[in-house]
């Protein structure tokens, strides 16, 4: 019934490759089906001006898409001289979500920036970015511990993200691009591995959605995120 042929509660294959590039303190290629995102975490021993001298650190993120990561070529934002609204919105979402996972005071006056660059898009790029970014963040923090910059990890939770939606009246898990384009409702759910919500963002694409649809979608998200978090943890255990 789904265009993808998957069961209503079935994730796409999720694959996490650590140490994908050699320079970043944490570097992850995350693949969720055909969606592929490079997540590079960079550590800097300084904080933004508004935090100077406050004894705490900062975690932020930037999101981008290669111009031909999509079906038709998009204008390169650097050439255009301006990031689009969607890009800005997603960058803020990723950064906010990751900050919820970290004890910023325990991080000390250090910054971690996670760059999420989509090299191939097939729906769910913001959720894949968060899932991959959290692993890159964990690696970057580990590198700080190894380097003696930190004594203990300030990472409070693993977080992961998945999209759920209502498609032809049914709640479905982890929408790919053809499903996302036709969904009536789209809900991005970011959860911590303690079972709490870090962020939820739901949008009625067609008609307003009802509370029971919200409940059904949140249940699917919970199931999917448990699986994704497991994959994150196995990846970090290797």
Residues of this chain that interact with a copy of itself (CB under 8 A) are 21-24, 27, 34, 36, 38, 40, 42, 44, 62, 64, 66-73, 76-83, 85-89, 91-92, 96, 100, 113, 115, 117, 119-121, 157, 191-192, 194-204, 207-211, 214, 218
CA distance 174 to 112: 28
Cα separation, 53 vs 192, in Å, equals 29
Nearer to a copy of itself, 4 or 27 (CB): 27
Q: How far is the CB of 21 from a copy of itself (least distance, A)?
A: 5
**Phi/psi of residue 169, each to 5°?**
80, -5
CA 166, 167, 168, 170 torsion: positive or negative?
negative
- Yes or no: say if 161 and 93 are a contact pair by the CB < 8 Å rule: no
> Cβ atoms within 10 A of the Cβ of 172, count?
24
Whether 16 and 28 have beta carbons less than 8 Å apart is answered as yes
Tokens found for residue 103: 């004890």
The least distance separating a copy of itself from the CB of residue 227, rounded to whole angstroms, comes to 18
**Considering the complex, what minimum distance in angstroms separates the CB of residue 68 from a copy of itself?**
4
Please tell me whether 131 is known to bind a ligand: no
Tokens coding 188: 């991005």
Longest dimension (CA), the chain: 56
Structural tokens at position 149: 């910059």
Using the minimum distance from each CB to a copy of itself, give the nearer residue, 5 or 211. 211
Tokens of 154: 């300030």
Site of tokens 């590079």: 40
Q: 21 labelled as ligand-binding?
A: no
d(CA 228, CA 238): 16
Distance between CA atoms of residues 163 and 187, nearest Å: 6
| 86 labelled ligand-binding | yes
Q: Is 125 annotated for ligand binding? A: yes
Give the residue with the Cβ less far from a copy of itself, 9 or 199: 199
Annotated binding site: 86, 124-126
Annotated binding site for phosphate: 86, 124-126
């Amino acid at each position: 019934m789904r265009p993808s042929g998957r069961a209503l509660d079935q994730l796409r294959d999720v694959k996490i490759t650590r140490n994908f590039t050699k320079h970043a303190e944490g570097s992850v290629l995350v693949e969720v089906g055909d969606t592929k995102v490079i997540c590079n975490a960079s550590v800097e021993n300084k904080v933004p001006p508004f935090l100077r001298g406050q004894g705490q650190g900062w975690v932020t993120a930037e999101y981008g898409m290669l111009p031909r990561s999509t079906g038709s070529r998009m204008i390169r934002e650097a050439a255009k001289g301006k990031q689009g609204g969607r890009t800005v919105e997603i960058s803020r979402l990723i950064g906010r979500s990751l900050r919820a996972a970290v004890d910023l005071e325990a991080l000390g006056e250090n910054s971690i920036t996670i760059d999420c660059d989509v090299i191939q898009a097939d729906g769910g790029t913001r959720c894949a970015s968060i899932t991959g970014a959290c692993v890159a963040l964990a690696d970057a923090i580990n590198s700080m511990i190894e380097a003696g910059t930190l004594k203990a990890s300030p990472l409070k939770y693993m977080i992961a993200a998945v999209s759920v939606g209502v498609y032809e009246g049914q709640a479905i898990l982890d929408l790919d691009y053809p499903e996302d384009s036709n969904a009536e409702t789209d809900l991005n759910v970011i959860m911590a591995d303690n079972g709490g919500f870090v962020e939820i963002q739901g949008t009625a694409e067609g008609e307003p959605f009802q509370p029971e649809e919200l409940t059904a979608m949140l249940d699917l998200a919970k199931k999917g995120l448990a699986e994704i978090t497991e994959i994150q943890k196995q990846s970090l255990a290797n």
